[in-house]
Chain A
Amino acid sequence: MAMNYSEKVMDHFTNPRNVGEIENASGCGTVGNAVCGDIMRVYLDIDDDGVIQDAKFKTFGCGAAIATSSMATMLVKGKTVQQALEITNKAVMEALDGLPPVKVHCSLLAEEAIHAALWDYAEKNGIHIEGLEKPVSDIGEHDHGHDHDEDEDDE
């Protein structure tokens, strides 16, 4: 199926920003699963004032998954934890000039990956972040609305 990606998506897929790892990250979160075909891992470096100084990611997934990871990490950089929490999948999509409908779940995964990294940060530091819920580790399942039972393997 031909994918109609925006130029921004193609740009972020071809030249993804913030690829990599952060050693001794303040927070690190991984969401998705290999069975569904996408996994995102986000690393955050957060200073003592609760400002995100750096964000990095690694993603296993399609073009949209890589582009949304790139954009989401860009959007959270320089933000406070609270501001980062308010960055929704919609904001990521808008920043990328939209995604094809079948790829919307990638932006949800990116939002969830940021939340997972924030959750890890909060747990490590024993703090409570207002409005942050424990992330779903397997967003692939709840978003796709199905799991991969044996009998789903048939077309």
Chain B
Amino acid sequence: MKQIYLDHASTTPVRPDVLDAMMPYFAEEFGNPSSIYPLGQTASDAVAEARATLASILGASAREVFFTSGGTEADNWAIKGFAHANAKKGKHIITSSIEHHAVLHTCEALEREGFEVTYLPVDEHGIVHPDTLKEALREDTILVSIMFANNEIGTIEPIAELAALTHEYGAVFHTDAVQAFAHEPIDVNELGIDMLSASAHKIYGPKGVGLLYVRKGIKVANLLDGGQQERGKRGTTENVPGIVGFAKAAELAWVELEPEHDRQLALRDHAIERILAEIPHAKLNGSWESRLANNVNFSFEFIEGEGMLLQLAARGICVSSGSACTSGSLDPSHVLLAIGLPHEIAHGSLRLTIGRSTTKEDVDFAIDSLATTLTNLRMMSPLYEDFKQGSVESVIEQFAADGFPYTN
């Protein structure tokens, strides 16, 4: 059976060119970058070159880029490292209620240490409004961390405005750009970003490598005390093949950024339009205007997400859901709840994320399968039966009646 992978926000395959670039650094050019003989120097040069490539893509300088084991580590380091190094200036941190757990749970850990954290609400499209940030900023606010784009619903946040406001209060602005780096153009100076987290495996690079950009002059506590790697801040022998692969992946993505972005955006809009036209009791989650080019996220009423995922998986379609049943917890996605979805329809959500290899045929096949799956599941749903008999009301119809766009 043909597999149709539509979960690129979860992870991506390593591009062949990326793998080719990495290969020499496993067995041939295996030297430790800290060694002084030529084998070490080759590895050291490769890391330096990768750092310079990634820095230039961000509009940063190489010394501002620190390699990590991934996005989660970068988020942990940025937030905890900054908080610990700057606690004497204040102990207040602001973030949003829709951050990835890598940020939310890090903030919660800091709360247990005595820091105070404000979790900004978002509007019904998942946007953090600058006026809510303005209200939350205080004299003792040291750090604001707002994600560049949300991993579940794809909403792109007004980063430049949020960063500018943060700076008015003398605080530092961090963004988790794991979903946006090398997908959206990001220049840290133009946008006023002071720290940024990114990950390789979301851009067709290897798993286990990421980066943290830290603007020159910003103090962040050491993550790993050890050798002099990462300017003494993260002392461990560099993941040379991973770092080389990360830079290669970013470079390739950067070259094709605009055409590939526009191609995926057209597929995304095709998917959204088809679902809204053909599948009843559906609601687009997130903003349509300010949205990642590869993200489609819908709630479907009267069904539960896991059943939908399993039926789609049986047809070879790999997608994900914000349903509690797929997360291992009992509550549905905190992001879907934060945009105001009641539990009933948060359980019935579907995320479909497009990638480089996705074709229109793939998207059409997935939507055809989705329509069949939903018909099957609704046929066996007691909620749908009650709705048909008029004894329960449709939550999504209520959203539509309240003027919410993008519903069917």
**A residues apposed to B, CB below 8 Å:** 1, 3, 10, 13-14, 16, 19, 21, 30, 34-41, 57-63, 65-66, 102, 144, 146, 148, 152-155
Contact B337 A153 (CB under 8 A): yes
Selected from B310, B314, B337, B343, the residue in CB contact (under 8 A) with A34 is: B343
Task: Decide: A59 near B323, CB < 8 A? Known: A102-B328, A146-B330, A155-B101.
Answer: no
Contact B326 A61 (CB under 8 A): no
Cβ contacts under 8 Å, B329 to chain A: 155
Contact A1 B327 (CB under 8 A): yes
Within the complex, the shortest CB–CB distance from A18 to chain B, in Å, comes to 10
CA distance A1 to B277 in the complex (A): 31
**B residues apposed to A, CB below 8 Å:** 97, 101, 104-105, 119, 302-307, 310-311, 314, 323-332, 334, 337, 342-344, 347, 379-385
CA distance A41 to B111 in the complex (A): 44
Within the complex, the shortest CB–CB distance from B27 to chain A, in Å, comes to 32
Contact A63 B334 (CB under 8 A): no
Contact B343 A35 (CB under 8 A): yes
Contact B310 A63 (CB under 8 A): yes
Within the complex, the shortest CB–CB distance from A143 to chain B, in Å, comes to 10
CA distance A30 to B384 in the complex (A): 14
Sample of 5 further A-B pairs with CB below 8 A, known A36-B324, A38-B304, A61-B304: A37-B323, A41-B385, A59-B380, A62-B304, A154-B334
Contact B304 A37 (CB under 8 A): yes
Task: Decide: A60 near B337, CB < 8 A? Known: A37-B323, A155-B104.
Answer: no
CA distance A8 to B184 in the complex (A): 45
Cβ contacts under 8 Å, B384 to chain A: 60
Within the complex, the shortest CB–CB distance from A130 to chain B, in Å, comes to 29
Cβ contacts under 8 Å, B305 to chain A: 62
Selected from B101, B104, B310, B382, the residue in CB contact (under 8 A) with A39 is: B382
Contact A37 B325 (CB under 8 A): yes
CA distance A148 to B329 in the complex (A): 13
Within the complex, the shortest CB–CB distance from A102 to chain B, in Å, comes to 6
The 3 closest A-B pairs by CB, nearest first: A62-B306, A62-B325, A41-B382
Selected from A13, A60, A144, the residue in CB contact (under 8 A) with B302 is: A60
Main secondary structure of the interface of B (DSSP, over half): helix
Within the complex, the shortest CB–CB distance from A8 to chain B, in Å, comes to 14
15 sampled A-B residue pairs with Cβ under 8 A? A1-B327, A3-B306, A13-B310, A30-B382, A37-B325, A37-B343, A40-B382, A59-B382, A63-B307, A66-B380, A148-B331, A148-B343, A153-B334, A153-B337, A155-B104
Cβ contacts under 8 Å, B383 to chain A: 34, 39, 60
Cβ contacts under 8 Å, B105 to chain A: 155
Task: Decide: A65 near B379, CB < 8 A? Known: A1-B327, A37-B343, A58-B385.
Answer: no
Which chain B residue lies CB-closest to A154? B334
Cβ contacts under 8 Å, B119 to chain A: 154
Cβ contacts under 8 Å, A102 to chain B: 328
Selected from B302, B323, B331, B344, the residue in CB contact (under 8 A) with A155 is: B331
Contact B307 A37 (CB under 8 A): no
Cβ contacts under 8 Å, A13 to chain B: 307, 310
Selected from B327, B328, B331, B381, the residue in CB contact (under 8 A) with A58 is: B381
Cβ contacts under 8 Å, A146 to chain B: 330
Which chain B residue lies CB-closest to A21? B385
Contact A37 B104 (CB under 8 A): no
Contact A65 B304 (CB under 8 A): yes
Cβ contacts under 8 Å, A41 to chain B: 382, 385
CA distance A16 to B102 in the complex (A): 39
Cβ contacts under 8 Å, A58 to chain B: 380-382, 385
CA distance A41 to B310 in the complex (A): 21
Task: Decide: A63 near B306, CB < 8 A? Known: A1-B327, A21-B385, A102-B328.
Answer: yes
Within the complex, the shortest CB–CB distance from B353 to chain A, in Å, comes to 18
CA distance A36 to B331 in the complex (A): 7
Which chain A residue lies CB-closest to B333? A155
Contact A35 B382 (CB under 8 A): no
Cβ contacts under 8 Å, A19 to chain B: 379-380
Cβ contacts under 8 Å, B332 to chain A: 37
CA distance A58 to B304 in the complex (A): 13
Cβ contacts under 8 Å, A65 to chain B: 304, 307
